[in-house]
Amino acid sequence: MLRMAVAGAIGALVVIAVTLTLGCGTFLGPAVCGPWRGPFAASTPVTVKSAARHAFYRNSGVPAPYRGQTNPFRPSIPLVLAGADLYDLRCAICHGPMGLGNGVASDKLRQRPADLAGSVSSPDIGNDFLFWTISEGGTQFGTDMPRFKHDLTDAQIWTIIGYMRAAFEGREANASP
C-alpha cells in the first residue's frame, strides 16, 4: 500500500516536472495555454495566418496593380545583406528575427504575425503575394500587418523579399518540433 502511494507520488511529481519543463502548450496547444513558451520557443512557429487573405489570393489572385509583378533584382550577396538590414529594422519586431512569427511585439497584436518562413516555403505563395501583402498591409483583412507602400520604395520591398527567400525558405521544416 505504502509502496503504491510512494510510486503514485513520484509519478505525479514526474508529470508536473515534465509539464513545467516543456510548457503547457506542448501538451494542450496554444489555444488552451496561450503562446507556446517551451524551451524551443525561439525556433518554433507560433503563427496563425490570415485565412481571409489566403482565401482572397486563392480565389482572385492579387489585385490588379500587383498582377504579374516580379522581382526586378537577381539575387546577390550585397542585396541580401541590404534586405537583412531592412527586415531587421521594419519587420523583425513582429515577425521575429528568423521570420517565425515570434517577434517581441507579437503578443500585443489582434492576430499574431504570420510565420514568414512557412509562407516563403509554401509552393502556393508567389512573389506577387508577398509584394502585394507588404505593400498594402492588413487593412482590407482587419489585421495589424502595416501597409508599407508609402514607407518603403518598391525596390526596398523587393530587396526584403529577396532576403526572406534567401534566409527563411525551408526553415519552417527544421523549426517544427
Rule CB under 6 A: which residues touch ligand HEC?
49-50, 53, 90-91, 93-95, 105, 109, 111, 113-114, 116, 119, 125, 130, 133-134, 138, 141, 143-146, 148, 160
We find the least distance from the C-beta atom of residue 137 to ligand HEC, in angstroms, to be 7
We find the least distance from the C-beta atom of residue 2 to ligand HEC, in angstroms, to be 55
Which residue stretches of the chain are H helix? 2-22, 24-28, 30-33, 51-60, 77-90, 92-95, 116-121, 127-136, 154-168, 171-175
Distance CA 93, CA 75 (A): 25
We find the least distance from the C-beta atom of residue 99 to ligand HEC, in angstroms, to be 8
**Quick one: 19 or 60, whose CB is closer to ligand HEC?**
60
**Quick one: 91 or 167, whose CB is closer to ligand HEC?**
91
Q: In terms of Cα–Cα distance, which of 127, 132, 133, 128 is closest to 169?
A: 127
**Quick one: 26 or 106, whose CB is closer to ligand HEC?**
106
We find the least distance from the C-beta atom of residue 169 to ligand HEC, in angstroms, to be 13
Distance CA 7, CA 39 (A): 28
Chain position carrying cell 546577390: 76
